Amino acid sequence: MEHLFAPVNGIRLHCVAEGKADAPLMLFVHGFPEFWYAWKSQLDEFGNY
């Protein structure tokens, strides 16, 4: 897993990427108060495709 930060409208957003760069994008979005770790198992599974 690769941890990235994206500046968006003056806010620094944390992102986690997994898988091949040329594969179709699959976006997992969580709500407050969860954080990226809630999607850890899904990132592991879908990052292999």
pLDDT, tens digit, for every residue of 1-49? 899 999 999 999 999 988 888 888 888 888 888 888 888 888 888 887 6
- Tokens, residue 4: 């990235």
- Looking at 1-49, which runs of residues are DSSP E strands? 2-8, 11-17
What pLDDT is stored for residue 12 in this prediction?
Answer: 96
Who contacts 21 (Cβ-Cβ below 8 Å, separation ≥6)? none
Is-cis flag, bond preceding 24, omega within 30? no
Task: Say what the pTM is.
Answer: 0.69
Give domain limits for the chain. Answer: 2-17+26-46
- Looking at residue 7, its pLDDT comes to 97
